[in-house]
Amino acid sequence: MFLAEIFGPDLLVVVIVVAVLIFGAGAIPKLARNLGTAKAEFEKGVKTAKDAQATQASDVSETKSDDTPS
């Protein structure tokens, strides 16, 4: 973990304890679930955008090849 290399494991433990104190033990799983859902939606959006871009690029290349004189 990159943060562990910079700050050390002690700081990570402190951050986890502070998060539990701020959000409460019951809210941590809900927060993690929401973050997982948000990550999945983001990745789905990125994939959709890449697919649309690839489709658009292939449509443009087909149009250019159709317009070239024989």
Confidence of residue 65 (pLDDT cuts 50, 70, 90): low
pLDDT at 46: 95
pLDDT(3) > 60:
no
Mean local confidence (pLDDT), 6-35: 85
Is residue 32 in some structural domain? yes
Is residue 3 in some structural domain? no
Q: How many domains does the chain have?
A: 1
Is residue 33 in some structural domain? yes
Is residue 18 in some structural domain? no
Average predicted confidence (pLDDT) for the chain: 82
Is residue 35 in some structural domain? yes
Is residue 6 in some structural domain? no
CA distance 49 to 60: 16
Most confident of 11-15, 21-25, 49-53, 65-69: 49-53
Is residue 12 in some structural domain? no
CA distance 20 to 45: 31
Answering whether pTM is above 0.85, one says no
CA distance 40 to 66: 39
